[in-house]
Each structure stands twice: as C-alpha cells, then as structure tokens.
Amino acid sequence: MIRATKRRLLYKLDEKAAVSKLAQISHEKTKDIRYLRKRKNEIDFRISTEAFTLDAERDLVRKRNAIEKELNEATKSYRLKKKVEFIDKRIEEMNKQIETMVEQLKESNKKLDDHYNEMRRISGSERRRREPQHGEGRHQQKPQEISIADIAIINKEESKKEEDNSVMN
C-alpha cells in the first residue's frame, strides 16, 4: 500500500514538473484575462450598438477575433496554473497519507513485537542475548526474528499436545 502510494506520488511530482513548465511558458506569452474580456465586451457592444461602414465593422470583427484568440490562450494558461495548484494539494494529501501509513506500520510492528515477546515469555524460552564480539555483528540475528530454537520449542510443544490428546482418546 505504501509502495503504491509512493509510486503515485512520484507520478504526481513528474506531472507537476511538466505542467508547471507549460504553465510558465504560456503565462509569459499571455495577457491578463480580465483586460481581454473587458476589451472583447467593449468591441461587441460597439458592433451591436453603433452604425459603421462595412470596412470599419470588418476591422472591429478582426480585432474581436484576435482578442478572442489571445483570451483563449490566456484561459489555457490560467487552467494550467490551476492544475498545478491542484496537483500541489494532491501531493500534500499523499504525503500526509504516507505519513499516517508509516505511523500505523510502526504501531503494528510494536504490537507484533509485544505479542512475540509475550509468546516467548509464556513458552519459557526467553533468553538473554549475548553481546556480539568483534566481527560477529554482521551475522547476528535481529532482535525480533524467530530463531530455529524457537521453532523447535514450538514444534516440541505441539507434539506434546498431540501426544496428550492421543493418550486421552
């Protein structure tokens, strides 16, 4: 679960890098959206309310179309900027999710260690670990791994229980 979330996080980081580059490039080329909309509305209003010659009206329509193209580019740039913000929020959420998973994993490991220690205590096989001597540290067992001796004790106890059950029957 953590691996899958980390993979998605890496994907989102790559996506953010790509989209932010596009947003930066397009933002440098575009003008303010509010100014373009205002200018377009002014031209539309003039075309619809005033009387023009045919050439003058064609010039206004050309200006309107040019402004509309710029407005479309500015809108795309704005959408890319918003997408980068959305990706940033998602990355934060995923980081928080990973942190909670790691905390849950640590808690589960601690509970398992406690249960294992309790099982060893109950079975009477709790032993003190000897201190590693020079050069032995690499091959030493980890503190909470089950050793072959533990498995032998468990198998021995299970065989005793089976013998007891067969004697009682």
Domain that residue 80 falls in: 2-124+145-168
pTM across the whole model: 0.53
Distance (Å, rounded) from C-alpha 53 to C-alpha 112?
87
> Is residue 140 domain-resident?
no
Distance (Å, rounded) from C-alpha 92 to C-alpha 78?
21
Task: Give 29-61 pLDDT, tens digit per residue.
Answer: 677 889 999 999 999 999 888 888 889 989 999
> Is residue 133 domain-resident?
no
Confidence of residue 142 (pLDDT cuts 50, 70, 90): low
Q: Alpha carbon 33 to chain centroid distance?
A: 32
96 to each of 11, 92, 103, 137, how far by Cα in Å?
Answer: 16, 6, 11, 36
> Is residue 76 domain-resident?
yes
> Is residue 129 domain-resident?
no
- State both tokens at 129: 């670990």
Bigger pLDDT: 55 vs 143: 55
Domain count, the chain: 1
> Is residue 79 domain-resident?
yes
Check if the beta carbon of residue 90 is closer than 8 Å to that of residue 84: no
Whether 130 shows a pLDDT value over 50: the answer reads no
Distance (Å, rounded) from C-alpha 156 to C-alpha 160?
6
